[in-house]
Amino acid sequence: MRRSPNGPSTGAERTDTLRAEVRNVLESDGRLPIPAGHRVLLPGRGTTFVRELNQRDDGPTVLLVHGWMASGGLNWLTTFEPLEDDFHVLAADNRGHGRGIRTRSRFTIADAADDLAALLDALAIDEAIVVGYSLGGPIGQELWHRHPDRVAGLVFAATGFDLVQHGGARFAMGGAAAMLAAGLRAGAAPTTFPAALARQVTRDVRGANRPQTLTKWARAEMQRHSWRMVSEAGFAIGTYSSSDWIGSIDVPTAVVVTQRDRAVPPEAQYGLAAAIPGTKLYRYDGGHIACVEDGFGALMAEAITDVAERAEQLVPDTAVVDLREHARAKVAAR
């Protein structure tokens, strides 16, 4: 064990050391550091954690929603820098992930979407371009469905409207995740995220030509997770479908297909693009861990910029349009 001058190092000291090391690695490699984060109290829901880039009062806000077993910092590692010149960027940790909300309530995608609406309220942001990766895709879809007045546009990557498409696989994944979550809730197993699983998952980060120090930081991020809530999120993935209403999305949308993805098959991702009218399609030659690869962030920035430009064209400066009232009327009519 490494020791501080006054004795054994604490968990906080080790985390601070890893954070300093990864900052040095990124800066020495010509990349921007991961944006600083801060905690935000969401009244009646709990406290979450959001990384924020380029805070300002003007310009579009981009809300980045990460995938299963990731965090805001880890999932969007390569996307921050390409967005820094043009956008106000928020990357929140989903509930149960990283330093996201902790609650005894069961994880649901609807609650995760409501958390993001509450975050926009807390930060006094009217609307955002919502960008969802993997699990973040369903959360972004639900955010539009439940709070359409908060969503100016949508970008999806490595995701679908039905992440587990086959009935047998859906039943198996949902059942396994439900049993694990039930055991954790009953105290039959440790609730912290298993270190061995974190090591296994982060091997892919190292395989993406990332430095060893960054792999350690990624592992530390994952070990912050609530194992129980992450398991419940797995159940939510296995049972989710927006097929009944996905075609009614009416904001500018782009879909980035990870073409070698074995977790969310490309055909499911193409199906998402086909289901939403007017979607612009982008392709990335990578698998489900594409988000940490060089080149991915630039393509995401291209898709986000396209959606932002299309969203701006929908609201001419000379028009007086109360989009929020219009959106509320649509919800009331459903």
Each of the 334 residues of the chain gets a pLDDT tens digit; together they read 233 334 444 444 544 544 454 444 444 444 445 888 999 999 999 999 999 998 766 679 999 999 998 999 999 999 999 999 899 999 999 999 999 999 999 999 999 999 999 999 999 999 999 999 999 999 999 999 999 999 999 999 999 999 875 443 433 344 443 344 344 344 444 445 545 544 544 455 444 444 456 677 777 888 889 989 999 999 899 899 999 999 999 999 999 999 999 999 999 999 999 999 999 999 999 999 899 888 999 999 999 999 999 999 986 543 333 444 544 454 455 5
pLDDT value at residue 294: 85
CB atoms within 10 A of CB 68: 20
Sorted by where each starts, the structural domains of the chain and their CATH numbers stand as 32-163+240-327 (3.40.50.1820)
Region label for 10, one of left (φ > 0), alpha (ψ between -120 and 50) or beta (otherwise): beta
Strand 128-133 with 61-65, pairing: parallel
Q: Is 101 helix (H, G, I), strand (E, B) or coil?
A: coil
Q: Positive or negative, the Cα torsion across 101, 105, 110, 114?
A: negative
Task: Compute the distance between CA of residue 93 and CA of residue 66 in angstroms, rounded to an integer.
Answer: 7
pLDDT value at residue 203: 53
Q: What is the DSSP string of 76-92?
A: TTTTHHHHTTT-EEEEE
Residue 207, amino acid = G
Using the 8-state DSSP alphabet, how is residue 319 labeled?
-
Q: Is 208 helix (H, G, I), strand (E, B) or coil?
A: coil
Using the 8-state DSSP alphabet, how is residue 155 labeled?
E
Identify which of 107, 97, 101, 116 has the alpha carbon closest to the alpha carbon of residue 154.
116
pLDDT value at residue 1: 29
Strand order, beta sheet including 88-92: 37-42, 46-53, 88-92, 61-65, 128-133, 151-157, 253-258, 280-284
pLDDT value at residue 79: 95
pLDDT value at residue 212: 53
Whether residue 83 contacts residue 304, with contact meaning beta carbons closer than 8 Å, is answered with: yes
pLDDT value at residue 60: 92
Q: Alpha carbon of 300 to those of 83, 147, 212: distances in Å?
A: 9, 24, 25
Task: Give the pair of three-digit tokens for residue 27.
Answer: 């800066």
pLDDT value at residue 223: 84
Strand 253-258 with 151-157, pairing: parallel
Task: Compute the distance between CA of residue 219 and CA of residue 322 in angstroms, rounded to an integer.
Answer: 45
∠ CA 60-65-69, rounded to 5°: 160
Q: At what angle do helices 227-239 and 167-185 cross, to 10 degrees?
A: 160
